[in-house]
Amino acid sequence: MTTLRPTVLLCLAGILAIAAAWRFRTAVQPEELSDPEPYATFAAAAEQVPSDPTPLNRLAEAHQANGLTNALITTLQQLLDHTWDRRDRVTLLTQLGELHQKRREASKAAQYCRRALEDGPAHLPALRIIGRVAEKSAAAGCEEDLLAVYQQ
């Protein structure tokens, strides 16, 4: 009986985390998340049930809606760690590349987009980002980068 109690407690904790995630999935809109409590709830739900991407997706939506770029990047990286579908990974990697490009972090943007192209070689948004990064590099005197992109 004593070995059953920790297992039951873990199951209950998982059920409560799933219930919290579902409640926020249907009830809370990202623009309503100006107060930090829902953020903590999503983060806790994500830790309790790492196999369910819903809390991390909702957290990413909330960060994006509130313009929290650093937090959005961190959340997308966490989501990437739990994503196995190639198409979803390509999308996440491209989003990360785009965010880094907007922050003028060209090398990180190109790095994420190259990873996206490993899984989806014809993914046009990733190619566009790499192309823009390469064109800026060419304007700065690094024509080799531009040539490498166009050869891809």
Compute the distance between CA of residue 34 and CA of residue 38 in angstroms, rounded to an integer: 9
Q: 87-93: list long-range contacts, CB under 8 Å, 24+ apart.
A: 87/120, 89/116, 89/119, 90/116, 90/119, 90/120, 90/123, 90/126, 93/119, 93/126
Compute the distance between CA of residue 28 and CA of residue 31 in angstroms, rounded to an integer: 8
Segment 71-91 mean pLDDT? 90
What predicted TM-score, i.e. pTM, was given to this entire model? 0.67
On whether the CB atoms of residues 60 and 79 are closer than 8 A, the answer is: yes
User: In this predicted model, what pLDDT tens digit does every residue of 88-131 receive, in sequence order?
Assistant: 999 999 999 999 999 988 889 989 998 999 998 888 899 898 88
3-state secondary structure 5-72: HHHHHHHHHHHHHHHHHHHHHHHCCHHHCCCHHHHHHHHHHHHHCCCCCHHHHHHHHHHHHCCCHHHH
User: In this predicted model, what pLDDT tens digit does every residue of 18-52 receive, in sequence order?
Assistant: 555 555 544 445 455 555 566 677 777 777 766 67
